Copies of this chain bind each other. A is one copy, B any other.
């Protein structure tokens, strides 16, 4: 551990401003001293990234894929050192660290595999037609990278949504150099992963500048990065306040750039009465785990549970409280996150006409007490403060008089990452309008399951309408996450030898291409 910034292949520590990370379980600072990046170091990282972007164009997709695979291997080879650092800086369990490492490695390998099939290139060829009016030229289109991408790591996913997480992997896969603004709460984990990426880049002969990792505690470095003329896109995972601030900065630039900020949501859970009567204990148990696991510090944590005041509602609430009380309590990621949780909880509990249950205060450090709030739908609808996310182990149960009121509650939500329904088949079928409404609200609609545990798969949408994300047209998870960092370019009447390999008559890369409207892997003009 050096505490230094990774600027391309070099380490750098120009600043006198330093900080340390914090172990929320022990309540002590961790030993490594991290050097804040300076504006000059930012400029150097961006300048190297711009050069690397140009050089990347003449590097094959196979080599790019091998770089991603090598990163995965290097991360794996960090072994226990990485797991220990992760735990020291986050307070999360070793098991969670191992699971998240697996996810990170799986993501990198998935992108490596999927860029090789070439579907994301969306190669499209329309041959010239001199007999048409007007005359049609030869047009050939493909996707290329936007340019250097800045990634802001998430506090709650030191591996899978941070230094070599989904944003970095999808940007690198798209041929974009990445500059990570390392999350200050886990700068050591970030440095270890950055070293792994740098080793992988050298081993696979990637250009210097394809990756940089910058330390910073305050906002200035992030701001300078987002405002830098050489930066072409931003990926962010975190709070609404943080994401919105970066989004505004990027849009106020002389030349605006896209920001994909994933900012969490309350992930409403709807439970219909029949299923509640049939599976009350199972649902309560399932939800209790999802609400409290790792102190509820997930963007897909169920923040609001909506059901009707059927005969079983009280029994369900009691069972949920009981199950929540049985869950292990966790230290939150950082005292500042605990403090924000406590403030938000106070705001919620100050609302009118609700009751709540919280687990007893434990002796550990930075424990977020698990809390279930219960409120009637009418009270919920009239108090906007209850509608926003509380990051931590808290969920609000909203009790509705009937399904009509439940509909009103669901309508009252802003954009969400997920909406979940627990119901029998006939209940779900009878409430199609609610499902329809949920598809307008959320990127993912879940049936008889909880939203935590985001599967890495091409059919996943981890996104949703604002304020879940800044752009509902994209996903942060799965191969389609690359689309955030790609743009089309068309070559008109270009000589064969000047075309990229992807668009030449001979399909040497064997990628799928849309030729005169038909998808094929064949060469142009060879109908065999």
Contacts and interface: CB of A to CB of B under 8 A. Distances in A.
Interface of A: 54, 57, 99, 119, 124-126, 134, 136-137, 139-141, 144, 146-147, 247-248, 251, 255-258, 414-415, 425, 428-429, 432, 435-436, 439-440, 442-449, 453, 455, 457-461, 463, 465-467, 470-475, 480, 483-484, 486-495, 497-498, 512, 514, 517, 519
Which 5 A-B pairs rank lowest in CB-CB distance, beginning with the nearest? Answer: A139-B459, A461-B490, A126-B459, A141-B459, A251-B251
A491 B445 contact: yes
Contact of A461 (B458, B488, B494): B488
A57 B436 CA distance: 9
Number of copies: 2
B490 A459 contact: yes
B446 A498 contact: no
Contact of A486 (B140, B144, B473): B473
B146 A453 contact: no
A443 B142 CA distance: 10
Contacts of A415: 255
A57 B139 CA distance: 34
A480 B488 contact: yes
Nearest to A441: B489
B447 A492 contact: yes
A520 to B, nearest CB: 12
Given A256-B466, A519-B519, 19 more contacts: A57-B436, A125-B459, A126-B457, A137-B455, A139-B460, A141-B461, A248-B251, A255-B415, A255-B465, A425-B497, A429-B495, A439-B489, A445-B492, A446-B493, A449-B493, A461-B488, A473-B487, A474-B488, A512-B519
Contacts of A487: 443, 463, 465, 472-473
Identify which of A119, A251, A459, A473 gathers the most chain B CB atoms within 10 Å of its CB. Answer: A459
A96 to B, nearest CB: 12
B255 A251 contact: no
A517 B458 contact: yes
* A interface, over-half SS: mixed
A139 B457 contact: yes
Given A457-B139, A458-B124, A495-B429, A444 B490 contact: yes
A489 B439 CA distance: 7
Given A136-B455, A460-B141, A494 B125 contact: no
B460 A490 contact: yes
Nearest to A147: B440
Contact of A140 (B124, B459, B465): B459
29 contacts: A99-B134, A119-B519, A136-B457, A139-B455, A139-B459, A140-B459, A141-B461, A146-B473, A247-B251, A247-B256, A248-B251, A255-B415, A255-B466, A256-B466, A256-B470, A258-B471, A425-B495, A425-B497, A429-B495, A435-B498, A443-B488, A444-B490, A444-B492, A445-B489, A445-B491, A447-B493, A458-B514, A461-B488, A473-B486
Contacts of A458: 124, 126, 141, 514, 517
A134 B492 contact: no
Contacts of A459: 124-126, 139-141, 490, 514
A58 to B, nearest CB: 9
A447 B495 contact: yes
A134 B460 CA distance: 15
